[in-house]
Chains A and B, each alone.
Chain A
């Protein structure tokens, strides 16, 4: 596998469920990101990890819990979500967090909360 992969690609969950999104990058990068993409809204940065340490939490509700066990893997644990959390969740990576470095995006997980 090359690039940034995300699983599952589609997820439907009820408001009381607990699920996790997984992201893996095969690029040797040190920074990983979670974004939320909602229809007709700007792409929202949620979390940033640099060398496995969280360096940015963009006021994300606690029902979203990220985990970065190593520089290649990033998880987003979900619990007691709301219907308005339905969106495309994109993972990205870059060599280091910074403007000079292109971010490489995965294909996203389409999440529907019922």
Chain B
């Protein structure tokens, strides 16, 4: 099976930038995703990137993709306390089966302190 790995925990101060890293194994993944899970809630799609892109920016979020190293990162600029949550990296699997499924990492818990 495919693997997605993330560090479990990141702590930053309010106003700093946060960088959450992820490595994946499926080189045929067409899309890579970042989901956010706030306490007591389900996962919510934050952003995704096509595998033929190196970078995608969306307001405070910047996604960087290094296909050669199979490394994905999510940068949150000017991190706020409301950004405290668990962030999941995911890749799609099963390109040739007609059914795509998402393979998630363990999630990185981001704690933003005032």
Using CB atoms and an 8 Å cutoff, list the residues of chain A in contact with chain B: 4, 40-43, 45, 48, 55-56, 90-92, 97-100, 102-108
Contacts and interface: CB of A to CB of B under 8 A. Distances in A.
Interface in B84-114: 88, 92, 99-107
A107 B41 CA distance: 4
Interface stretch (B42-50, B57-65, B73-81): B42-50
A90 B106 contact: no
Given A103-B102, A108-B41, 7 more contacts: A42-B4, A45-B101, A56-B99, A90-B42, A100-B100, A107-B40, A107-B42
B100 A99 contact: yes
B66 interface: no
Contacts of A43: 43, 88, 104, 107
B48 to A, nearest CB: 8
A113 B5 CA distance: 28
A103 to B, nearest CB: 7
A74 to B, nearest CB: 14
A10 to B, nearest CB: 10
A4 B105 contact: no
A42 B103 contact: yes
A47 to B, nearest CB: 11
